[in-house]
Amino acid sequence: MAKSFNKEALKYHSENKPGKVDVQSSKSCKTEYDLSLAYSPGVAAPCKEIYKNPDKVYDYTTKGNLVAVITNGSAVLGLGDIGPLASKPVMEGKGVLFKKFAGIDVFDIEVKSDSVDEFINSVKSLEPTFGGINLEDIKAPDCFIIEERLKKEMNIPVFHDDQHGTAIISAAALINACQITKKKLKSVKVVFNGAGAAAIACAKLFVKIGVLKKNITMCDSRGVIQSERKEGINEYKKEFMIKTKNRTLADALKGADVFCGLSVAGALTPTMLKGMSKNPIVFAMANPDPEILPSEAKKVRPDVIMATGRSDFPNQVNNVLGFPSIFRGALDVQATHITEDMKMAAATALAELARQDVPDSVSEAYSNQSFTFGPDYIIPKPFDNRVLTTVAPAVAQAAMKGKVARKPLKDIEAYTEQLEAAQSFRQGFIRTNINKIKQGVKRSRGKKPVIVFPEGHSRKILKAMNTIVSENIIHPILLGNPDKVKKMIEELELENLNDIEVYQPKEHELYQKYTDEFWKLRQRKGVMEAEAERLMKDQYYFSSMMVKNGEADALVSGAVQNYADCITPIFEIIGADKYKTAAGLIIILFEDRLLFLADTTVNINPTAEQLATIALSASRVAKYYNIEPKVAMLSYSNFTGRKEAPSKMRKATEIINQIDPKLIVDGEMQADTAINPTIVERIFPFCNIKDGANILIFPDLNSGNIAYKLIQQLSECAVMGPFLLGINKPANVLQRTCTVQDIINTVVLTAVEAQAYKFRAKAKKNGRKK
């Protein structure tokens, strides 16, 4: 197994391009003019500005988002003193984690020096280049001296992660373990095994969070660090020297509440663990093998709460939960130092986050494991996106409060949203629209869009609602058996849904009215009165009637039922709008653009007239998001085709021009022509679309569906939808494979659509053209 894994690791590091990091330009450099801006003569302008005002370096360079990961390779985790060259893969890996989890750029620097003074001078000389310094894998006690001096002599954050990262994560774990076991921090007796940099930093931070220093016993390879001992004591160990009769780890652990191991495998024996207090807390953080395996610990003490440094056991004390977000917060306020209060803020924020409900997106990243606050989940998981948006703002606030922030934030909530948006195009787009809905709610004097969900018994729907309700942007109504739905809410511990409305259609006061209305609506289409009564007991039909009659502004279904069965009652009851053609719309988000694709789900081979109405409906949706619609009618030819498909698209273009002459539309054209302005400029200067289309209309369902699924699989983009176009009132159908996050996205965009519909209807009523 080990040999096979090592082989895979070597392949991972060597294949394609050797190493793990890359440098990419953040600015365009495709033309001679771009080159003149990027380098000479254009580069002189920012140089002059920085010379006049050094703070401008943060405006014109990457300094504010650039961290140096620096080592001399004297204490590489699990490998020892392997030197700077052999440590480079570790430092590159650290850079990957900074970028992945906080969007921070990194240069790894391996210094060939065993001299403390030489190393310090090397790092100090780099201050003009970097916004922060992450010290890594430096032996003790050199690491203490180096960090202390650099913090005093530099005016940017300096952070030794081996010490403080471990301390912050284990402090968060201790806070929560004590809460679960109902132990008080000021009363717990803590025993450390290992007295190196990480152990001493942990002990210091434990004191900061409330553990009494007199209750801490520290052991090293020679036993308890106590007042009568002379051998192997340095000034850093001396800080935790105590007067005691205990001489060995076994002595110290009798009756102890907490074991904190930063030592070697097997250091904690089952016999030692047996002698600890009730509900012992064991942090066995030796790598790669812990001081005691969880399976061994549970055999002798089923009441133990354990954390290790390994990802294959619960409660991994993983520094990636700390350093990316800590530096993110520090860099964003241009902090001069990382203070003890900033570390404390990070630990507290992580502890609080672990006590919150865990989103499905986190479970999906861990093979759909379920995580609930308790003995096996006392610290968050690294792939929880909320770590960044929780820890970084807490660190930034602590920096501002501690007067070490050169650029204080004006609005923490806005900063948190900015971090969320930076994590992905999709999250940024959704956050923008959540804020848009909130503004709309203010405009309508607190009236939130009412959205009905016919699948109230769906776990995914309930989990999505728990998140949506916390944003306070919609008034949700669930359909289903109230008792069963409420029981599910209780079982899933979805506290935000305790007061949510749940109705059973057949017991609703409007059931008979809806039945009569539906029968009148469909009696000439083969629906008998008894059939109308039966169908109106169906949640999908009832929800459509609620939207038609205005008891709800919109509906969202499809998490459980198949697409065709969901859209049938929508078409029969809500119906198509004046454009007469319903269609499916997909929204695709790239880093630098947003595209709308239609029809992707409904019409197999639409006519020119239908395609025109689909394009007009899609253009209206683009306007919801303040995007000027530019519509490309796609085919396999550019403005010359005479066969059926090209002719159909050209005719559809003509119809659109007649209906809405102001709309930017052209076709037929090939897909590359539609989205690449250079092709239009060079070959088709007569084309109406000059800067690339943002709405792509396909000639048939085959091409539309295939295109969006290929884009989804082959590119770094976010795909949302499908959304229904051309319906009299907002109604959208999910795909049964949807995730909780997909549901949240669809609900948010449905709410935007519902608000736009209401504002448009109000404007029309008041005699204004919207």
One-letter amino acid of 662? K
DSSP string, 313-354: SSSB--GGGTHHHHHHHHHHTTBS---HHHHHHHHHHHHHHH
CA nearest to 50, candidates 64, 40, 60, 65: 60
Q: Which of 611, 582, 637, 622 is nearest to 700 (CA)?
A: 611
Q: Catalytic: which of 63, 94, 204, 381? A: 94
CB atoms within 10 A of CB 376: 15
Residue with tokens 């009832």: 542
Of 141, 140, 110, nearest in space to 126 by CA: 110
Is 694 in contact with 629 (CB distance < 8 Å)?
Answer: yes
Catalytic residue among 7, 33, 39, 487: 39
C-alpha to C-alpha distance for 268 and 284, rounded to whole angstroms: 8
Cα(240)–Cα(354) distance, integer angstroms = 30
One-character DSSP codes across 5-70: HHHHHHHHHHSSSSSS-----SS---SHHHHHHHSTTTTHHHHHHHHH-GGGHHHHSSGGGEEEEE
Cβ-in-10-Å burial (0-12, 13-18, 19+) of 9 comes to exposed
254 is annotated as an active-site residue = no
Structure tokens at 299: 């055999």
- Residue pair 588/594 in contact by the 8 Å Cβ criterion: yes
Could you report how far apart the first and last alpha carbons of the chain are, in Å?
67
Q: How far is CA 445 from the centre of its chain?
A: 32
424's CB contacts (< 8 A; 6+ apart) are 718
94 noted as active-site residue: yes
| Contact (CB, 8 A) for 333 and 394 | no
- Give the active site residues: 39, 94
